[in-house]
Structure 1
């Protein structure tokens, strides 16, 4: 397609609305997240770690969306989808991106970042994903995957990216951020873990682990009906994988010369002119890339498997998938001296130089086909499968790790039904991090005290019972004084939270050190945080909230004043600003006042478009006679204006689009 035709095509599709595809989609596994793989390669490229982990997770019941490294040139927000199995649990996804840049060549600019965030939001909204684990395999994706609401961020550090010639230098900065900020960092080799440790020590809340490669043991260990046959019936010294700049041409040339009676079979895409440099050896055969489904038939024909890599940072960082596969077939393996191969030293012949490599091949060629050594290699490989690796991955991603503690202060005054729903919504967020909940009751008389005593005894959370109604500010201050969290949230009892609310608000504060207070969007409030959203019950509310928040991933909107029905701040902000002003008594204007104090300290306030909390609005004040309520409002308004020597500016709703 010419550039003119491409431009015309973009103009046509830009005028049409994106429509999600129609296809079989399995419901998510109960109490389990969806997995989004942010790919370093396309699905149909060489079938290795990315595809193997994705497939095994789907077999384990998780829904998996594999984001292709190739973007779809489209100015709209959306995606294409290709089912990869019959169950409706495994898909390849191409996100829409204007001009579809190549992910290895540059970091994404702001325009592209926001389009990709909206495009992934369309996917997750369509899928009604309850929660996601973002498994990032290339740093290009970090500004998109790292801000998804209600998610855990896992960086799968599987390569020394600086060793590839096509990766932009700026991508290293993104990788440094990923290493520092991801919830979980996986290293495919001990070399990678050691390389990054002195540069980016892990935080107290971060998990790091070495998750090595593995093999599809059943596939590679099972003899095929039709295996490759060397045309001249010669012994086969075989290799498969990339034929790139790290491939040791001189070593392979020496092998071909030393074993002229053997075929040296090289399988893989030749991206470095390897074939031309080895043209002088009649016994070297290059096949090009072979589909994964046919690979075992070739491996079964190898008499000896080789790993002829040059020693350089890229290969030093490598934990070679192919070695696990070679061993699954029981084949003798001869390899250069790479650090990761020392874990195989009982199963692999490691050669320090070319003569040693040739001698090891000679010994391997003498080994009978069904030997004790062959069975030992297979026994080792049987314990190094992708099933084993995925179980280790699930233990890291789905067991709640040590995260910064969030303390939630809930002030109650009657409205027992609302309090029940609020606390139930906090407890129902089973996939999120644990919370410290502190309830402060202002002398309720409707059975709330008895309920809260039972709740505190059974849950282990804290309860403060006041003998009188001390008001909103004073009660919150009691809870704040008791709180131990690194992050502090104030939450009205007439609210219901949605999954991942606390984690997502916390991350907004962590990403923006200048942000003093952050709140959610909601269905009912008198300022810009109110959105147009409709639902009939709490179940439908959760679905509508997910659809909205996925589509607004990472977005926060500055505002002058937050409603304190739900706000969060860091402990450092609280220590800087201090407690709420109790001079406002029962309530009204203490939230305006606190926002002015945050503003005075040089910090900002914002609401997060990717967090939704249901709000009944002014439930406690509705119990107060109207005249008393108006009198309190007028009194506190006058006090606020005198304190700040300025007129109070009424809150306004957002402008309609």
Structure 2
């Protein structure tokens, strides 16, 4: 029975457990159903979210596409705007060139008309004069005289034979020039601290557009006022100049100087009289245009004696050719070119050959090759040259001179009788006679620069048929860049500078290869567009704008010798401030070290100097615990100086614009000078000049006028006053510092000059550098009696070393 009861109990427990589990299962089933419904809802929500996200992504994609299209349109608009601006500038330049050419053609027509009328009125007289003219040319060629004398003789004969002579004003008017005489102001915009460009050209602006004009235009467009100095002088015995704005720009002018006899720059260096007249004319130009800092870009050695005198300037020689290779350049000019190469602050070479030649004379050589006016030459004109008959055109443009291989072109004409050989350019070797037997050779003569695309875009293959000679080995040919701008295939003789073009140009050595290359090009016409684009893509990166930027960078980064200026102070804080302010604002020299030595000032000078030098590594301050005197104080500064040139400058001075370059220029040009100083308003010797200013505000203008009138001038002086002197480190290394026996001061400058002269060097005073001097500001504080006693004591020391002291004198007025 008990067993049955236990079994019943077990059954009851199992029943209750089963019921409990059933209830749990039912609850779990309900939870599962609830979760399934939640999952379904989440799935539906996720699908809806994905749908919305997909819609948003679609909208975002469309917005991105719209944005990309808008950005592309903006880029296209900017490119179009730049192209339009470039076209506008080019059109403006072309209009200017065409205007000048039209004026010249009209003048030629008037001349022809006059000649025609004269011949009709007196045919016998014309015939006689023609024969006499031929005879005179024969006599002129026979005369055993130098080229310059023959040129002067010819001018005199022409002046005698002319019925009348136009006045300078009339001559200027017919040429479109505006005569300017100081004090008329040549209004030019501010250069914002950039130097003015003086480009001393090798040709007149309107003669033939070449590298000089293209660089000048781009420098002016970059914001630098540019004066292009023409080689075409005005025959006048009075100094002066005429200015003509170019291309509608207020930053670009052609300048023609007045020079008696209007000499040609190609035959001989300028005479002393011509240099004086040019200097006076240039001084007028600098004054009229309110010019301060200058970059002189010289493109012919004739200009060197003038350019080296320009105040506050950097001298750049833009060497475009191997001038000795022309064969007809006077040896005096070649010698002058070597001197220019050596003296130039920067020598620009247009080719690797010229670079190697230039590096023998100057360590600062930069290769800046020729280039092209891409926007002008790449654009195909609406109308191009069309030859009679359906013939291919084998073309060349450029001067046809002694470097042009006539025989090679004759072989081209023989090899391609069915094609036209078109030669554009001035013929100075009688090529027309050479090709007389070849009817497929056409010589068009020289054409205006603006007409070159008319012919270029008609050519099927372009040639560079030069002889291989020293002149062409040094040449970087401009026309190749222009040929490539139009996408034209180019066949050339093999020259060193052609290697930069790679496979874009066929450069061959033998005449047979030259003919074969032309035949290969003609056989592949028309060429693939990708081939044309490759040529144009290269030329697009070789423009005059690129070259001008390279030139500007080369000048801006030119290494400058370091100049250390030692300023000794003792009280007079306001004067010290004025002196230091002028050093910082007027020196216009990037590599300047200023060392201030204070001789135990009792005013606020030490505190001011400490604050002034803080954070400036090129400012050094030495504070002495006692007054060591003039010589010992300056010697501390000289010992601390690290410059290539050393300057002793009193704190009672105010320097003027470009004073550093002015003094350095004389030391570089005249190695015999061991020490140099400026002219001034207040000193006890020949360095003193008469001045009119009574206010410091008027000093800079008067100083500029005075020094420009004396540019390049200096004279030997027995003793320099040490209110301002400069000497190269070599002088300091040979002589050492100032003699400290003289204590507080007096006679240490006389003593130093004697030591310089004892070593065979000269003391000089620069007439083209002015420094204002208050005079003896520190010594005046001693009082008259102490000053006199100090003077007598130091005079005795000086005479014990050098003999009787000769008092300083003023210059004769």
Q: CA deviation at 1:369?
A: 5.9
Deviation at 1:213, TM superposition (A): 0.5
1:422 and 2:579 are equivalent in the alignment:
yes
CA distance in structure 2 between the aligned counterparts of 1:553 and 1:213, rounded to whole angstroms = 33
The question of 1:96 aligning with 2:258 is answered yes
Unaligned segments of structure 1, at least 5 residues: none
Is the alpha carbon distance of 1:136 and 1:162 closer, same or farther for their aligned partners in structure 2, counting shifts above 3 Å?
Answer: same
Relative to structure 1, is the Cα distance of residues 470 and 342 closer, same or farther in structure 2, using a 3 angstrom cutoff? same
Kindly indicate whether the alpha-carbon contact (under 8 Å) linking 2:587 and 2:659 is maintained by their aligned counterparts in 1: no
Query: Which is further off, 280-289 or 92-101?
Result: 92-101
Structure 1 Cα separation of the partners of residues 180 and 535 of structure 2? 52
CA offsets, 1:174-218, max 9 Å, x none? 222222221111110111112343x43x34xxx211110000111
Inter-partner Cα distance in structure 2 for 1:45 and 1:18: 23
1:160 aligns to what?
322
Q: Distance in 2 between matches of 1:8 and 1:441?
A: 71
1:24 CA displacement: 5.5
CA RMSD, aligned part only? 2.4
**Greater gyration radius:** 2
Q: How far apart in 2 are the matches of 1:47 and 1:474?
A: 61
CA 1:8 to 1:636, structure 2 compared with 1: closer, same or farther past 3 Å?
farther
Query: In the alignment, what sits opposite 2:306?
Result: 144
Indicate whether 1:497 and 2:655 are aligned.
yes
> Matched residues in 2 for 1:551 and 1:259: separation?
64
SS, match of residue 103 in structure 1: coil
Superposed displacement of residue 57, structure 1: 0.3
Q: Given the two structures, how large is their TM-score scaled by the length of structure 1?
A: 0.93
CA distance in 2, matches of 1:538, 1:246: 60
Of residues 513, 537, 559, the one that matches 2:717 is: 559
2:356, 2:806 → 1: CA distance? 57
CA contact (8 A) 1:10 1:75 kept: no
Larger mean CA deviation between 55-64 and 91-100 belongs to 91-100
Residue 19 in structure 1 maps to residue 181 in structure 2: yes
1:551 offset after TM fit, Å?
2.4
Aligned-partner SS, 2:503: coil
Correspondent of 2:423 among 248, 256, 266 = 266
For residue 591 of structure 2, the aligned residue among 427, 434, 437 is 434
Matched, 1:506 2:664: yes
Instruction: Decide whether the 8 Å contact of 2:491 with 2:518 is kept in 1.
Output: yes
TM-score under structure 2 length normalisation: 0.76
Mean Cα displacement is larger for which, 188-197 or 58-67?
188-197
Stretch deviating more after TM superposition (535-544 or 75-84): 535-544
SS of aligned partner of 1:106: coil
Per-residue deviation, residues 559-602 of structure 1 (Å, max 9, x unmatched): 22212110011222223333212222212222222223323332
SS of 1:293's partner is helix
Greater Cα offset, 589-598 or 407-416: 589-598
The structure that is helix-richer by fraction is: 2
Deviation string 1:250-271 (CA, Å, 9 cap, x unpaired) is 1111111222222211111111
1:279 counterpart residue number: 436
Displacement after TM superposition at 1:114 (Å)? 3.2
1:614 positional shift: 1.8
Equivalent residue in structure 2 for 1:586, among 734, 744, 760: 744
Measure how far apart 1:63 and its partner are.
1.0
* Matched residue, 2:508: 351
Tell me: CA distance 1:26–1:266, structure 2 relative to 1, closer, same or farther (3 Å): same
Distance 1:47 1:21 in 2: 33
- The answer to whether structure 1 residue 244 and structure 2 residue 406 are counterparts is no
1:230-286, Cα deviation, whole Å (9 max, x unpaired): 243422211111100111111111111222222211111111111111111111111
User: Aligned equivalents of 1:435 and 1:372: distance in 2?
Assistant: 54
Q: Choose the corresponding residue for 2:552, options 376, 384, 394.
A: 394
Q: Distance in 2 between matches of 1:324 and 1:536?
A: 59
Equivalent positions of 1:378-389 (< 5 A) are: 378-389=536-547
How many angstroms apart in 1 are the aligned matches of 2:762 and 2:709? Answer: 24
- Aligned equivalents of 1:209, 1:92: Cα separation in 2: 26
Q: How does 1:466-485 map to 2 (within 5 A)?
A: 466-485=624-643
How many Å apart are 1:409 and its aligned residue?
A: 0.7
The residue aligned with 2:293 is 131
- Counterpart of 2:788 (choices 620, 626, 630) is 630
Contact 2:185 2:289 in 1 (8 A): no
SS in 2 for 1:557: strand
Structure 1 window deviating more from structure 2 (622-631 vs 278-287): it is 622-631
8 Å contact kept, 1:137–1:157: yes
Deviation at 1:636, TM superposition (A): 2.8
In the other structure, the counterpart of 2:223 is 61
Superposed displacement of residue 144, structure 1:
1.8
Q: Which runs of 4+ in 1 moved over 6 A?
A: 5-13
In 2, Cα distance between equivalents of 1:72 and 1:602: 44
Structure 2 gap segments, 5+ residues each: 1-154, 170-178
The secondary structure found in structure 2 opposite 1:257 is helix
Match of 1:112 among 266, 271, 274: 274
Q: Write the distance in 1 (CA, Å) between the matches of 2:575 and 2:384.
A: 69
